[in-house]
Chains A and B, each alone.
Chain A
Amino acid sequence: MTLNTLKRTVFTVLFLSVFSFGFAEGSKEGGEDKEFDAKEMILHHVKDAYGMHLFDWNDHPISIPLPVITYTDKGLTMFSSSAFHHDYHGHEIVERNGQKFVNVHEKVYVLDEGASSVEFDAEDHPTNAHRPTFDISITRNVFMMWVSIAVLFLIFLTAARRYKKSEDNVPSGIASFVEPLVLFVRDEIAKPMIGEHKYRRYMPYLLTIFFFIWINNIFGLIPILNGANLSGNIAFTFTLAAITFIITTFSGNKNYWQHIFWMPGVPVPMKIFLMPIEIIGMFVKPISLMIRLFANITAGHVIILALMSLIFVFKTVAIAPVSVAFSLFITVIEVIVTAIQAYIFTILSALYFGMATEEAHH
């Protein structure tokens, strides 16, 4: 091992420990004597939140405030998440537009008329408050999504400009980094899955989805941005899977629908038997896409955080080398998983498009 790698390893270990400490401290707020709850910390990490928590400084959480936007029967209300003062137990009541807002486990609730404080039932659900009709707040996931698309624009628009500048279309600079990836999507994903003739139509979608998922997977692993677990959020994967489903459905040709409703080449009783299976399969495909990405990324985050939590659960530094080593190992695996999951989401989308546009060859 060279000195350089050693230095880098030590640095990474320190880096990871500092930030895991940060999480732990963050979850302690609201009561100094409160026991460390690993489950609560992990769930708060993998879920969405108002305000982008970066780190704690002298027991004081430092975060980027983000706008909370809600639509209720009283119209649109917008205020900064800093109004909650980092509270997510429903203690802090924010009065805006004649309504009282509270933050209960990073979900905004509107207090019922006449109520002055939130009351909870046995399962910790508010009893005298309801969710706004639409909650379209710029949460930390939305914020990180915008950061990620800004990075994507920066990378790909610069790369595209490089091509325009060069006379003979030879990639240079960032374009020579981007081109192999673009060609990989084209030659290893789109062409074999969709076919030589029809792949062109789907290229923009496949490229966009590949890089969008990949970059968000990577951002989820960067410690200081750890607040955002966008690609491990079911809403994100649901949206992307739904778009894939819509594209598949709309590009389905006669052959595709025939295979679903009246499977050719099998006896009639079999056709009737296969029809419901195929219809279910039509929906299971995008659902499995959604679940796969969500569960893979979330599980990775949960494992890393759980290993880090061991230090605070056992309340000893002695366990730190073990948990740091293990979480480093898992992090390295997760780095590979970020690319693999983006690849699998893209290749399966391409496969479904290919099935939808396949010509009959019986």
Chain B
Amino acid sequence: MTITGIAAIGAGLAAIGAGMGIGRIGGSAMEAMARQPEMHGKIQSSALILAAFVEAVALFGVVVAFLQG
């Protein structure tokens, strides 16, 4: 297996982690919105920000994969 292949696997693993993280954020945000529909806007924007933080970690993985590209 070449180094590029290994990098691609690494990027995939990073995507799995971020997927789980964003999934949890999204699920909890939905639940919270259902519980308190009047807080809809605030929950949505915090969920987006948190998703961006989680996503950044996955993107670091993607960038490492790019390093091999």
Contacts and interface: CB of A to CB of B under 8 A. Distances in A.
The answer to whether A and B touch directly, with their CB atoms under 8 angstroms apart, is yes
Nearest to A298: B66
B63 A343 contact: no
Contacts of B43: none
A348 B66 CA distance: 25
B48 A343 contact: yes
Interface residues of A, number: 14
A288 interface: yes
Contacts of A299: 62
A292 B53 CA distance: 9
B52 A344 contact: yes
Nearest to A288: B56
A299 to B, nearest CB: 7
Contacts of B49: 344, 347-348, 351
A292 B55 contact: yes
Nearest to A284: B56
Interface in A282-303: 288, 291-292, 295-296, 299
Contacts of B59: 288, 291-292, 295-296
Contacts of B66: 295
A283 B36 CA distance: 37
Interface in A309-342: 340
B45 A295 contact: no
Contacts of A340: 48
A188 interface: yes
Interface in B49-69: 49, 52-53, 55-56, 59-60, 62-63, 66, 69
Interface in A163-210: 188
A268 to B, nearest CB: 30
B32 to A, nearest CB: 17
B62 A347 contact: no
Contact of A292 (B45, B48, B52, B69): B52
Contacts of A351: 49
Contact of B60 (A188, A291, A296, A347): A291
Contacts of B55: 292, 296
A288 B53 CA distance: 8
Nearest to B56: A288
A140 to B, nearest CB: 21
A142 B50 CA distance: 32
B1 to A, nearest CB: 18
A295 B62 contact: yes
B5 to A, nearest CB: 14
B52 A348 contact: yes
A209 B48 CA distance: 18
A320 B53 CA distance: 36
B48 A295 contact: no
A292 B51 CA distance: 11
Contacts of A344: 48-49, 52
25 contacts: A43-B69, A188-B41, A188-B45, A288-B56, A288-B59, A291-B56, A291-B59, A291-B60, A292-B52, A292-B55, A292-B56, A292-B59, A295-B63, A295-B66, A296-B55, A296-B59, A299-B62, A340-B48, A343-B48, A344-B48, A344-B49, A344-B52, A347-B48, A347-B49, A351-B49
Interface of A: 43, 188, 288, 291-292, 295-296, 299, 340, 343-344, 347-348, 351
The 9 closest A-B pairs by CB, nearest first: A295-B59, A288-B56, A344-B52, A292-B56, A291-B59, A295-B62, A291-B63, A292-B59, A295-B63
Given A295-B63, A296-B55, 11 more contacts: A288-B53, A288-B59, A288-B60, A291-B60, A292-B55, A292-B59, A295-B59, A295-B66, A343-B48, A344-B48, A344-B52
